[in-house]
Amino acid sequence: MRGPLIIVVRRRHLLLALLALLAGVVLGALPLVARVRPAAAPVADAISGRIVAIDAGHGGPDPGAIGVSGAREKDITLAIAIKLEQLLRRAAVYTLMTRTGDHDLVQGEHAAHRQREDLQRRAALVNRSGAHVFVSLHANSFPSPVWSGAQTFYLGGEETSRRLAEAIQQSLVAKLGPNRRQARPADLRILRDVEAPAALVEVGFLSNPEEERRLQDPEYQWRVAEAIADGIFAFLAAQYAGEPTSRGRPGGGRGGL
């Protein structure tokens, strides 16, 4: 009878020791959490919980630009969009993708003006989401092969969109190497139709053989996605500095913030 009793007592001791250890770990970690939070909280609050809509340009029957060796704009925009989505989600940002596969938004239907209808549907989807930021991804093409470099566009006259585009362009230039291109205004339908602060990123020139090769390289695609994500974070941090996460509160549209 003694044997089992001793085992029970020892087990109880072991359990108490484990509980004490666990309590020590938890209590020991608390001051660390308390020290870290005040510095990180304002930026995290400005970013986490926001909604970012990502538009992979073209898709389905519309390949977009075709590179000198055959790369299709629609494939490159989607590959970067999927990576961007992952990076944003890691920062607790909600994401909306206008497409996640090789199709447009008019699939299976007849539309007299398919491209226009496609763009209108993308904008309507984004506007319904209450997005705080909209970013449309495209790749450039030009008759001459000499041009290269990513460039970001915004709708002229939209100050909030300008700040978003400049933040993204600054990050692209810093992370992707020499590029003297600046964020520029452009009168583009998708930028006109979307209500959130909106930027259109031309990730590079498919008409430049070297840039076409890089844009097909997943490693480079990650770098482009990281640059865009960092630009969005910088914009959100500045835009919503000191403002708690807007749970259930849409972005308020462009220009009004």
The site for Zn ion (CB under 5 A) is made up of 57, 64, 138
- Closest to Zn ion by CB, 57 vs 67, is 57
- Supply the DSSP symbol for 143: S
Q: What's the CA dihedral at 187, 189, 192, 193 to 10 degrees?
A: 180
Angle between helices 73-90 and 218-239 (to 10 degrees): 50
Percent helix / strand / coil, the chain, rounded to 5: 50, 15, 35
- Closest to Zn ion by CB, 96 vs 186, is 186
Min separation Cβ 171 and Zn ion, Å = 21
* Residue 7, CA distances (Å) to 2, 12, 18, 197, 242 in order: 9, 9, 16, 67, 57
Report whether 93 contacts 51 (CB < 8 A). yes
- Closest to Zn ion by CB, 57 vs 149, is 57
- Closest to Zn ion by CB, 153 vs 235, is 153
Of residues 239, 256, 206, 232, the one with CA closest to residue 135: 232
Min separation Cβ 200 and Zn ion, Å = 9
Min separation Cβ 84 and Zn ion, Å = 16
Min separation Cβ 138 and Zn ion, Å = 3
- Closest to Zn ion by CB, 51 vs 200, is 200
* Pair of tokens at residue 139: 């790749």
* Residue whose C-beta lies closest to Zn ion: 138
Min separation Cβ 29 and Zn ion, Å = 49
- Closest to Zn ion by CB, 49 vs 64, is 64
Residue 19 CB coordination number (10 Å): 10
Alpha-carbon distance 204 to 196, whole Å? 24
Min separation Cβ 133 and Zn ion, Å = 19
